[in-house]
Structure 1
């Protein structure tokens, strides 16, 4: 250990105390230094600063694989130590433990970074670890599970995660949407799963919580529905600073754990099957000892659940509201799906309001008629995209095409019952099918000449007229 110049001069200033007969401990108390330090430097010659001899480093089991680890780090500098240890065991038969690999990486990463020309501050990524008391905090995050249900027509599936920070007790459910109604609907399910409400919940700057983004250091404006939901369930909203995912590392890690232990290598046919698979895995997760706090998750979760706040008797249902136009087919588009409205109460291009919850879609008129309710239609929310949710009664009064008919012309169309002979004479004359069956008498043209008093038409007269014209 090398003392700086100020402490070295301070030690010389109190050297007279040693000459006066004071003990090493008394000088240490006077100077504020350790007595071993005082003894070492007082015994050294003035003008020289003693140096600690470097201890030779003991060879470690990981040294034989140093060239392999260095090659991996040159390809991926931030490769995790757990991954390196797993690969060494599987591919090279490494018999050492993970801590040996971790100690080697502490020395190897800065050295490889210097070789690659990477600044040390790019490797910092340090953060302060914190612990909380039971029931004080939970963390929330989304996971994108992609097309895991694409084979049944569901294009996209998302996983909602909430983790109690004290015990790491997890909750997860799966949805097909990340909108406002689905987000807060998953919160209600999480509260029911835990049996209470945590004191605060940590979020990213997601649009379902934050109304808009602001510059660093400024107060973040919250979404009105987020404020109302948090006030109803009596918890605080804790929004992380931008680009600080380590602030909710507990739930970030939980997303990967659920994906590896619940979803990997399995096939599902519905969202309900995915939710059931997670609930079946929860007892196994709670029976394990967490490597950070060193306790069984289920034992620690019991204390966490007991400290949660009670759930209100009346739920707070969040609806996502949007304005849409009515189409010519009396359908309204929302989130890639079509929903019907009554034809007798709307018109083409009329503006209506859609209120979307996690389970239902209600359509309301923005300017209702006198004495009428604003509600136009209510439908169950469609899963996925491209669906048409139609109530057939909404199309009452619209042409349905039942009067259209075609024929090849080979046969006459059969008359309808009301047009057959036996009906009224006027109806028979006005109806084409009945008039076609009336018998018409055939008379020679000479009969009409006699009635009119004209001479019959002859070819000779025609030739005479032709000559006159010439």
Structure 2
């Protein structure tokens, strides 16, 4: 066929294209005058050496999936196999059943609880710059409950851009969620310590503290953890981004805003089966309110003024009033650039997106003397010449002397007022730099009270600092309560001691002084269901948080589940170390649910790690004699009680359920009056008894 085509005048390339062979092969056969051989069907070769053992291999692989090819080859050789290892390996790969994938657990959050944040990379060619591909990043914040999307395209992923996007997103949705989930982006997570503790970016923590939310980072390489923000990226790319043209970045964001308002946030969500806008309207009421003072994360830089009176910041150029070569201080905020010279503000510009852009204030390109003459500034040359001639003109213009004096007096008062305003602005800038939002908020009102003579300067300073400290303390307590997982806040003031006459109020108030934390004691709250054990435990934990102590609150079932998970992940030691660092560990609901096998051993390891090192509060509706049944192992229960009763405070509550107080007539009398908890016997001491024995402490 090749020779026939060659005789017809076809070139080597044409023959190769028609026959599907390489041109070198065509040239070889033409030079030799030969046709390529025609191969028939492949004949069956020798039987495989592995054939007699195929049934055995299938049986072994089906029974135990993870057997290696090396081990199976060794077993076959013991049975007389003389073939190669690769044959066994290929056969196992062909028949091995696929690994069953675990079911995905869908994670839904309550209204106003969580939002997820991430960036996605897009490549766009703007019509203003045809032929030039530009990389833009899509910042997206998705509310976990309603699936409301708040997104914006930016040119960078730097820290200032991240903070600015947060501020704009919070302002648009009109509130702040309780928690925001991030991946391991460098602008959010600085690193991770050896014990697994995540170190967040300091500026991001400042933002979170200002807005009152808790940052959280998902595990590495686990994009499904924040699927609510990952999945919409492909939706935005397919439904909005493709097959559109954009003039510039502003046009891109303008079209995105229209699409979000008319398409994305009004659609029926496929997972929740709710209209996003309706769900967002309901969730918006559960969001935290925005702070009264805007967030100003100050980043201080030093830059040199160029010959043309420009300062380079972030790849863009901003003007200053004169072009004297000198070093100036730059205060970079998420949306504003402030340039100071010798502590005095000389220029302020909005932040520009992109690079190699110029922002020139027209007032910075006019002469200072001309501007002073135009505004009648007292230091201008024209005013100076008038003052120098004023004594000579005074004799000829006696009627104007009084008017000149009034003008001078008004000028002095104007300069004093201007100086006070400048000083007040300087104080405000200092408060912004010191991150004192509450002080900044009350400053103007306090100054007016000083001017009206209501308070003096010392009192005003004390009030401003008190307001700021109160705000910071409230934020600290709020964050600490979230970290402690105290979702329901109870206080001692809200406990009805009159309903439980068996409970000594003075004794509980003594515990609220938190001296038991300093002594690393264990407080046992025992009693039937509904008698207020969890209320008291939560209230004492809240008091500890307010006192600046670190607290961890958990039920026994959740605590053992977290320890078991850490053991499976090989991080049990780190988990116990983390739980041991807390000043107070509260374990609720001991005895309500059965402990899983092995859970008692895990709980014992935690108790042993905290023994005589950290305080604990335990609540239970079961007596100590029943703990062997609770933990499923009398030996483990004995070891636990040996440590938990050594330095212990036992509070027994006997009474009816507070929850059923309105239905007491439905409960039998023998149940209402029965004491379900028997106090533990006080161990006998050897030798001489102590001089002062206390009823509260069970000492060993």
TM-score under structure 1 normalisation?
Answer: 0.51
Alignment partner, residue 266 of structure 1: 244
CA distance in 1, matches of 2:127, 2:91: 43
Deviation at 1:344, TM superposition (A): 6.4
**Runs of at least 4 residues of structure 1 off by over 6 A?**
none
What's 2:352 paired with?
382
Aligned mate of 2:220, from 239, 242, 245: 242
State whether residues 123 and 133 of structure 2, in contact with CA within 8 Å, keep that contact through their aligned partners in structure 1. no
How far apart, CA to CA, are the structure 1 residues paired with 2:263 and 2:352?
34
Deviates more, 1:225-234 or 1:147-156: 147-156
Given the superposition, is the C-alpha separation of residues 205 and 126 from structure 1 closer, same or farther in structure 2, using an over 3 Å criterion? farther
CA, structure 1 residues 301+381, in 2 after alignment: closer, same or farther (shift >3 Å)? closer
Offset, 1:266: 0.9
Which structure has the larger Rg? Answer: 1
Deviation string for 1:232-280 (max 9, x for gaps)?
Answer: 2111111222222221111011122112222211111233332332332
Among 343, 347, 362, which residue is 2:338 paired with? 362
Q: Is the 8 A contact 1:321 1:354 kept in 2?
A: yes
Paired residues for 1:172-211 under 5 Å: 172-210=151-189
Instruction: Decide which of 200, 205, 209 is 1:227's aligned counterpart.
Output: 205
Structure 2 counterpart SS, 1:221: strand
Q: Per the alignment, do residues 330 and 195 of structure 1 end up closer, same or farther by CA in structure 2, a change over 3 Å counting? A: closer
The 1:364/1:303 distance shift into structure 2, 3 A limit, reads same
Q: 1:293: Cα distance to partner? A: 2.5
Closer, same or farther: CA 147–278 of 1 in aligned 2, 3 Å: closer
Q: Which residue of 1 aligns with 2:253?
A: 275
Match of 1:333 in 2: 312
Q: 1:142 aligns with which of 97, 119, 130?
A: 119
Partner Cα separation in structure 2 for residue 354 and residue 112 of structure 1? 69
Give, in angstroms, the shift of residue 340 of structure 1: 3.5
Does the aligned pair in 2 maintain the 1:180–1:319 contact within 8 Å?
Answer: no
SS of the residue 2:191 aligns to: coil
- Would the aligned equivalents of 1:181 and 1:319 in 2 still touch at CA under 8 Å? no
The answer to whether the 8 Å contact 1:155/1:384 transfers is no
Structure with the largest fraction of helix = 2
The answer to whether 1:167 aligns with 2:143 is: no
Q: In structure 1, how many angstroms separate the alpha carbons of the residues matched to 2:91 and 2:180?
A: 39
TM-score by length of 2: 0.35
Structure 1 distance, partners of 2:194, 2:101, is 21
User: Once the 2 structures are TM-superposed, how far is the Cα of residue 138 of structure 1 from its aligned partner?
Assistant: 0.4
Alignment of 1:101-140 (within 5 A): 114-115=93-94, 128-140=105-117
The total of aligned residue pairs comes to 276
Kept in 1: contact 2:266–2:276 (CA 8 A) = yes
Q: Secondary structure at the match of 1:247?
A: helix
Residues 150/200 of structure 1: CA separation in 2 closer, same or farther (3 Å cut): farther
Ranges in structure 2 where 5+ consecutive residues have no aligned partner: 1-89, 368-700
Residues 148, 157 of structure 1: 8 Å contact kept: no
Residues 269 and 120 of structure 1, relative CA distance in 2, 3 Å threshold: same
Higher relative contact order (CA 8 A, sep 6+): 1
Shift in CA distance, 345/245, structure 1 to aligned 2, threshold 3 Å: same
CA drift of 1:312 comes to 1.9
Q: Deviations over 1:37-93 (max 9, x none)?
A: xxxxxxxxxxxxxxxxxxxxxxxxxxxxxxxxxxxxxxxxxxxxxxxxxxxxxxxxx
CA contact (8 A) 2:127 2:247 kept: no
**Rounded Cα–Cα distance in structure 2 between residues aligned with 1:200 and 1:259:** 27
Q: Which residue, 323, 332, 335 being the options, matches 2:302?
A: 323
The 2-side partners of 1:170 and 1:190 are apart by 10
Pair 1:214 & 2:184 matched: no
Distance across 1 between alignment mates of 2:350 and 2:171: 23
Distance in 2 between the 1:391 and 1:116 partners? 74
Question: Kindly tell me: are residues 306 and 113 of structure 1, through their superposed partners in 2, closer, same or farther at Cα, counting changes over 3 Å?
Answer: farther
| Structure 1 pair 390–293 and aligned structure 2 pair: CA distance change class (3 A) | closer
CA shift digits 1:275-327 (9 cap, x unpaired): 33233223433443323223333333232222111112322133444333444
Structure-1 separation of matches of 2:303 and 2:281: 48
Q: Deviations over 1:119-150 (max 9, x none)?
A: 977x9597543111111000011122223437
CA gap 1:353/1:242 in 2 versus in 1, 3 angstroms = farther
**What's the secondary structure of 2:331's corresponding residue?**
strand
CA distance in 1 between counterparts of 2:238 and 2:197 reads 37
Trace 1:23-38 onto structure 2 (pairs within 5 A): none
Separation in structure 2 between the aligned mates of residue 391 and residue 195 of structure 1, nearest angstrom: 33
Tell me: CA distance 1:151–1:114, structure 2 relative to 1, closer, same or farther (3 Å): farther
